[in-house]
A and B are shown apart, each in its own frame.
Chain A
Amino acid sequence: MTASVSTFDTPVSGADPFGYEILEDPLPFQAELRDAGPVVYLEKYDTYAMGRYAEVHAALTDWQTFQSAAGVGLSNFRREKSWRPPSLLLEADPPHHDAPRAVLAKILGPREIRSLASSWAADAEQLVDELLARGPKFDAVADLAAVYPLRVFPDAVGIPQQGRENLLPYGDHAFNAFGPPNGLVARGAPRVAELSASIAAQCAREVLTADGFGAQIWAAADRGDITQAQAPLVVRSLLTAGVDTTVNGLAAVLHAFAVNPGQWNRLRHNPALARTAFDEAVRLESPVQTFFRTTTREIEIGGTPIPEDTKILMFLGSANRDPRRWENPDAFDLGRDPSGHVGFGFGIHQCVGQHIARLEAATLLNVLSRRIASLEICGPARRHHNNTLRAWESLPVRVRLA
């Protein structure tokens, strides 16, 4: 990064945050970004970036100034058509955002989902039984993190079996599409129509079970709390945002424990730390690394004037490791209070499914911490690249049973 001359000496970076090198390891770039200033101009995309906690948190909170309806990716919906009908939640501002959000927040509320805990625990037991019966070595991503959410979540939504294999590829493309039209997006393009049609088919009232989140969304439409036309798009939000993110969240916490055996012991001695452990891993790894916002008026950040209708890239992952906010930010520490991290976003768009994610993670960690005395990485860990997500392709682990 070079601090070249620009208006008000705004720091300028020529880096490509969506390029191979930074997707492979974003941490050095994020440190440069934070140290350069509260806002940095990204030459390559003619956009601004924020890497420090204070500004990222503030921008997430201030929906009046930093809108989402122009898209939370690089593409500006004021001028460009989205590759799919925009999300009624993620890519909407008040007042349009209110009703879908209120409906989904109620259905996914911590109290409402409590009834799922016992059946999810049974699913976790069964999955871990099957896994450990095959031996002490497995892939913590392919055999566990990518399996458990797909066992419990689609059933909770109530979608049919057919088409579930499309959930992860669809989510992967949707999160790639928030970035620039690079090779990752091109790679997904040939299947977009097919995957979109498959996901849309899963959102229809007729195919959903009578008692799942999907049916509850349609029931809200019947009560008039949202419109009939909104219902399938609200179901789609669950299917887009609820699978890849939790897979990567679980992979993150498993990786963190594999490389921090002391913290695993700590969890085993105090299983109540499971929830904290998951949020700490979400802070550390930030499965959703970045989102854009668009300015609704001219503002000034750290002396830099930013015009109205400008895209700003918020680095959630960088904010979550900002030493201005976090002591020893690179440590995975169950003694820390990770509250306030922006891994789930913040403000009115904060992840509406966060309680689902926590319940999945805590349930799985509870089973694992009872059965497994220790775990370690036993082969090459490989990253999966995505323009928005920080993900693992493979995490070979060896475990010792308790």
Chain B
Amino acid sequence: MFTGMDSTAGTSGVRLAVTAKTRAADGVVALTLAHPQGRRLPDWTPGAHIDVVLPSGITRQYSLCGDRWDACSYRIAVLHEPRGRGGSAYVHDELTEGSIVALGGPRNNFPLAPSDKYLFIAGGIGITPLLPMIRQADLLGAEWKLLYLGRSRNTMAFLGELATYGDRVAVMPKDESGPRRLGELIGDPQADTKVYACGPQRLLAAVERHCRDWPAGLLRVEHFAAKDQGAPARSTPFEVELAQAGLRVTVHPDQSILDALQNAGVNVLNSCREGTCGTCEVSVLQGDPDHRDSILGDADRAAGRCMFPCVSRSRGDRLVLDL
């Protein structure tokens, strides 16, 4: 059969099982995630990330670094950050094969735009969004080069996979290559070359400094520091009040707002049920939505005046919707 049958599109509140956990480098584990019933997962494009809601209730974003032609699994890689806020430690120490996590997204704030040539610059775990981009650039027949910076080879993930690309990949561990002259490596802006960079803040700041006078659109970076999403997503029920209908509906952790409304006999026109198409948009009159869609930009997310109930939830006990 083909993978569209029993797609996750059509269900909500997707939970994924960890189907493999392997060591990718010192301090880096790669996780394979799949639907417990083997269903198709929401589509994504290179540069996309997902929200992973850990059993502890913490939500973290990780870039997808697997194969989009495999519709039934995601791969992410997680660096252990001892000074982090506990997300990576949980992934490293507690998650095992069979663990269940909840999924948000995928969203893509770092899409690969067309170009004749690409220069990819990865610092450490910043390699993750660039891995699928490289494969894509290859498929598109673009010329590309990857500068992969790190502390030492044993801390740099996916060197084996990258070896197949030969000398288009420059692996530059600091303990072998010494301090890098980033400016020389990047050089001058070229109209036919887009530069994609992802890695630690210090590296990105240096890249941005070098490229500050470049024409817009040539340099594209993703700041990899985990975004602070504020209060963690709830793992307890909340109430949705429908202002026009005068109804109150309880939304349980294992169902979407859309499902809960449907069970209560309230139909909201919807389509993709994965937060990508925008059909089910509703206005929020009161309350603090937990946005989990792929549509809203930062300003709209912060404003919280509308939401997509197929995937988005509530941070507080109660949401009042214009329904």
Task: Contact check, B1 vs A64: say whether CB atoms are below 8 A apart.
Answer: no
Task: Contact check, A66 vs B2: say whether CB atoms are below 8 A apart.
Answer: yes
The one of B136, B267, B306 that contacts A95, using a Cβ cutoff of 8 Å = B136
Task: Contact check, A62 vs B4: say whether CB atoms are below 8 A apart.
Answer: yes
The one of A54, A57, A224 that contacts B194, using a Cβ cutoff of 8 Å = A224
Cβ of A279 within 8 Å of any chain B Cβ, yes or no, is: yes
A206-224 interface mask toward B, CB cutoff 8 Å, 1 = contact, 0 = none?
0000000000000000111
List residues of chain A with CB within 8 A of the CB of B136.
95, 98
Cβ of A165 within 8 Å of any chain B Cβ, yes or no, is: no
**Interface of chain B: mostly helix, strand, loop or mixed:** loop
List residues of chain B with CB within 8 A of the CB of A99.
111-114
The answer for the CA separation of A99 and B300 in the assembled complex, in Å, is 23
Cβ of A344 within 8 Å of any chain B Cβ, yes or no, is: yes
List residues of chain A with CB within 8 A of the CB of B277.
350, 354
The count of residues in chain B whose C-beta lies closer than 8 Å to any C-beta of chain A is: 43
Q: List B91-125 residues whose CB lies under 8 Å from chain A.
A: 108, 111-115
The answer for the CA separation of A266 and B75 in the assembled complex, in Å, is 49
List residues of chain B with CB within 8 A of the CB of A340.
10, 270-271
Closest residue of chain B to A224 (Cβ to Cβ) is B217
What is the number of contacts between chain A and chain B, taking CB atoms within 8 Å?
Answer: 116
List residues of chain B with CB within 8 A of the CB of A338.
269
The one of B7, B271, B278 that contacts A344, using a Cβ cutoff of 8 Å = B271
Closest residue of chain A to B115 (Cβ to Cβ) is A224
Closest residue of chain B to A300 (Cβ to Cβ) is B1
Q: Of the 9-residue stretches A138-146, A225-233, A376-384, which lies at the interface with chain B?
A: A225-233
Cβ of A275 within 8 Å of any chain B Cβ, yes or no, is: yes
Closest residue of chain A to B43 (Cβ to Cβ) is A348
Task: Contact check, A347 vs B2: say whether CB atoms are below 8 A apart.
Answer: no
Centre residue among A54, A65, A96, A98 by max chain B CB count within 10 A: A98
The answer for the CA separation of A72 and B276 in the assembled complex, in Å, is 23
Q: List B104-158 residues whose CB lies under 8 Å from chain A.
A: 108, 111-115, 136, 139-140
Q: List B1-25 residues whose CB lies under 8 Å from chain A.
A: 1-5, 7, 9-10
Task: Contact check, B272 vs A111: say whether CB atoms are below 8 A apart.
Answer: no
The answer for the CA separation of A95 and B218 in the assembled complex, in Å, is 20
Closest residue of chain A to B258 (Cβ to Cβ) is A339
List residues of chain A with CB within 8 A of the CB of B295.
109-111
Q: List B235-285 residues whose CB lies under 8 Å from chain A.
A: 262, 267-272, 277-279, 281
A82-115 interface mask toward B, CB cutoff 8 Å, 1 = contact, 0 = none?
0000000000001110110010000001110000
Known A54-B5, A61-B9, A64-B71; judge A227-B271 contact (CB<8 A).
no
Closest residue of chain A to B7 (Cβ to Cβ) is A61
List residues of chain B with CB within 8 A of the CB of A344.
271
Closest residue of chain B to A223 (Cβ to Cβ) is B217
The answer for the CA separation of A109 and B278 in the assembled complex, in Å, is 7
Task: Contact check, B3 vs A276: say whether CB atoms are below 8 A apart.
Answer: no
The answer for the CA separation of A344 and B279 in the assembled complex, in Å, is 12
Closest residue of chain B to A60 (Cβ to Cβ) is B4
Task: Contact check, B111 vs A98: say whether CB atoms are below 8 A apart.
Answer: yes
Known A94-B68, A111-B300; judge A339-B113 contact (CB<8 A).
no
Task: Contact check, B3 vs A62: say whether CB atoms are below 8 A apart.
Answer: yes
Task: Contact check, A110 vs B4: say whether CB atoms are below 8 A apart.
Answer: no
List residues of chain B with CB within 8 A of the CB of A279.
269
CB distance from A51 to the nearest CB of B (A): 16
CB distance from A70 to the nearest CB of B (A): 16
Cβ of A355 within 8 Å of any chain B Cβ, yes or no, is: yes
Cβ of A281 within 8 Å of any chain B Cβ, yes or no, is: no
CB distance from A364 to the nearest CB of B (A): 17
Closest residue of chain B to A95 (Cβ to Cβ) is B136
Cβ of A58 within 8 Å of any chain B Cβ, yes or no, is: yes
Cβ of A337 within 8 Å of any chain B Cβ, yes or no, is: yes
Task: Contact check, A58 vs B45: say whether CB atoms are below 8 A apart.
Answer: no
The one of B2, B108, B267 that contacts A58, using a Cβ cutoff of 8 Å = B2
Task: Contact check, A94 vs B45: say whether CB atoms are below 8 A apart.
Answer: yes
The answer for the CA separation of A230 and B169 in the assembled complex, in Å, is 29
Task: Contact check, A337 vs B262: say whether CB atoms are below 8 A apart.
Answer: yes
Task: Contact check, B269 vs A275: say whether CB atoms are below 8 A apart.
Answer: yes
User: Can you sample 17 A-B contacts with CB below 8 Å?
Assistant: A57-B7, A59-B4, A61-B9, A66-B2, A94-B68, A95-B112, A98-B112, A109-B295, A110-B279, A111-B281, A223-B217, A226-B114, A276-B267, A301-B2, A338-B269, A347-B43, A348-B43
With A59-B2, A62-B3 given, can you name 4 additional A-B contacts, CB distance below 8 Å?
A: A64-B71, A95-B45, A110-B281, A225-B111
Tell me the B residues contacting A by CB distance below 8 Å.
1-5, 7, 9-10, 40, 43, 45-46, 68-69, 71, 108, 111-115, 136, 139-140, 194, 216-218, 262, 267-272, 277-279, 281, 295-296, 300, 306
